Amino acid sequence: MSNDEVVHHYQATCRWEGTTARGYGAYRRAHELQCPPASAALHLSADPAFLGDPSLLNPEQLVVGAASSCQLLSFLAVAARAKVEVISYVDNAEGEMPDHGGAVSIERIVLRPHIVVGPGTSEAHLRHLVEVAHRECYVANSLRSEVTVVPTFEVNRVYAFGDGEAAANRLEMVARIFDTPSREFIAEATSDLPTTPGIAVDLGCGPGYTTTMLAEVTGARHTIGLDSSEPFLELARRAAPPKVDYVLHDLSRSRWPVGDGTGSGALPDVAYGRLVLAHVPDPASVALAWLGELAPGGRLLLDELEWIRTDEPVLAHYLDLATQLVTAHGSAMFAGPFIAALDPSLVGRRLSSGVREWPVDVDRAAEMFSLNLSVWKGDPVASQLVASPDELEALARELAELAEEAPAGRIVWGMRQVAFERAR
């Protein structure tokens, strides 16, 4: 290409959301095509380089958009047949049309789809499916232009137990059941702090029950709840006590968006997480990263499941399915052993670690599990990978009956409670 050669560029963005979890015949084919900077749709003009209206779509953009759209539809079909759940697909495509003088054509189109899928498939497999879709793409096969696909992938690790109103109700019950052991743990782990914490952070705050508890026990001057669910945060903000705030944040990502409100950028003195590492990938690495977010001498307090033991068959059946569900979502329901084995020496030190046994009445456990099941039994992952809809409905009936009977069985939670200190 000579130094004075002009290359014209065209952009197109295809958007689609939904699920392919129910197979090839069930997902929606409708999707959106935008070709910035134009805001209009299918009102055409020439390329501005040829005196067209830049606010309208032009044929060159549509060629790029057609290639993008066809690759999208081809990939959805291939993924559905392979039983891969696609959750979203956003392609920022670009076409290049060098002006050599004389006959001009779009010579190269680059598709850059960002594809979000459910857990349970590898990146290598996804790349293979993209290649198969490209080979089968009608538009790409019809063009003389070189069409290249450069995909990126993201696994959506959805919170297995949901974040709607029913999920908030179940978390309220969880908060009541585990309030005492959690309060005692936080009080014991912070009793020797030299001063009142300036900032305390609740990791995975949900609707705010644990945040309020953390604020009350530590007496922190400012307590901040972090969660990736905006619906949960909206509920939490409605009942937020003084000196408590809530911020949207993905806890698998670094740099907590917290501060003391003075602009000084002070780091947190205490961070607490209860039953949250079961919903993030690689809990040990995440816990170490959390410890590194604290001020020197700051405390990280983690409250996670080590085990649950019961002699009640219905509860045991529920626990088996729930464990499978969390695993299918790419996490580990029993994160206690991971944090018990964690070596924090590069970042800080372990202050204490132990398992606190907490017995719960069988009828209350059945009621809690019943609420849980009502939230997740509609999850496509549950019905496809964990149990049939009939099995889930039968379990729901058995849990409801158990909650009314007040039987004499036994269920005990083993809560791994670990306190770490950031190096000074």
222-227 and 244-248 as β-strands: parallel, antiparallel, unpaired? parallel
Claim to verify: residue 146 and residue 171 sit in the same structural domain: no
Q: What integer pLDDT is reported at residue 159 of this predicted model?
A: 54
CA distance 184 to 197: 17
Look at 281 and 42; give whichever has higher pLDDT. 281
Claim to verify: residue 169 and residue 149 sit in the same structural domain: no
Q: What integer pLDDT is reported at residue 19 of this predicted model?
A: 83
> pLDDT per residue over 299-323, tens digit each?
999 999 999 999 999 999 999 998 8
Look at 80 and 55; give whichever has higher pLDDT. 80
Claim to verify: residue 240 and residue 125 sit in the same structural domain: no
Ranking 3-12, 191-200, 391-400 by mean pLDDT, the lowest is 3-12
Domain-located, residue 1:
no
Helices 165-190 and 230-238: crossing angle, nearest 10°?
A: 70
Q: What integer pLDDT is reported at residue 260 of this predicted model?
A: 47
113-117 and 86-99 as β-strands: parallel, antiparallel, unpaired? antiparallel
Of 364, 366, 357, 391, nearest in space to 377 by CA:
391
Last residue of one domain, picked from the residues 129, 155, 181:
155
Number of domains in the chain: 2
Claim to verify: residue 327 and residue 264 sit in the same structural domain: yes
Domain-located, residue 204:
yes
- Contact call for residues 273 and 203 (beta carbons, < 8 A): yes
Helices (H) and strands (E) in the chain, counts: 12, 14
Domain-located, residue 127:
yes
Claim to verify: residue 60 and residue 108 sit in the same structural domain: yes
Distances (CA, A) of 15 to 68, 112, 114, 115, 138: 10, 12, 10, 10, 19
- Contact call for residues 71 and 140 (beta carbons, < 8 A): yes
For residue 337, count other CB atoms closer than 10 A to its CB.
16
- Contact call for residues 415 and 275 (beta carbons, < 8 A): no
**Which residue's structure tokens are 């059945």?**
366
Look at 152 and 100; give whichever has higher pLDDT. 152
Residue 44 three-state SS: strand
CA distance 156 to 167: 19
> pLDDT per residue over 176-232, tens digit each?
999 999 999 999 999 999 999 999 999 999 999 999 999 999 999 999 999 988 888
- In this structure, which amino acid lies at residue 105? S
What contacts 142, CB < 8 A, 6 or more positions away? none
CA torsion 236-239-242-246 (nearest 10°) is 10
pTM: 0.65
CA geometry: angle at 392 spanning 388 and 395, to 5°?
140
Claim to verify: residue 140 and residue 230 sit in the same structural domain: no
Range ranked top by mean pLDDT from 17-26, 98-107, 344-353: 344-353
Last residue of one domain, picked from the residues 132, 155, 178:
155
Q: What integer pLDDT is reported at residue 395 of this predicted model?
A: 94
CATH code for the domain of 220: 3.40.50.150
CA distance 356 to 181: 8
Claim to verify: residue 374 and residue 228 sit in the same structural domain: yes
Claim to verify: residue 108 and residue 184 sit in the same structural domain: no
Q: Which domain holds residue 200?
A: 165-422
Domain-located, residue 160:
no
- What phi, psi does 22 have (nearest 5°)? -95, 10
Domain-located, residue 369:
yes
Domain-located, residue 200:
yes
Task: Report, as an integer, the average pLDDT of 131-151.
Answer: 94
Last residue of one domain, picked from the residues 134, 155, 176:
155
> pLDDT per residue over 377-389, tens digit each?
777 767 777 888 8
Claim to verify: residue 225 and residue 115 sit in the same structural domain: no
Claim to verify: residue 393 and residue 326 sit in the same structural domain: yes
Task: Report, as an integer, the average pLDDT of 16-34.
Answer: 78
Claim to verify: residue 114 and residue 247 sit in the same structural domain: no
Claim to verify: residue 257 and residue 370 sit in the same structural domain: yes
Domain-located, residue 303:
yes
Task: Report, as an integer, the average pLDDT of 235-241.
Answer: 92
Domain-located, residue 112:
yes
Helices 362-376 and 313-328: crossing angle, nearest 10°?
A: 40
Of 139, 84, 137, 134, nearest in space to 106 by CA:
139
CATH code for the domain of 17: 3.30.300.20
Look at 12 and 185; give whichever has higher pLDDT. 185
Residue 11 three-state SS: strand
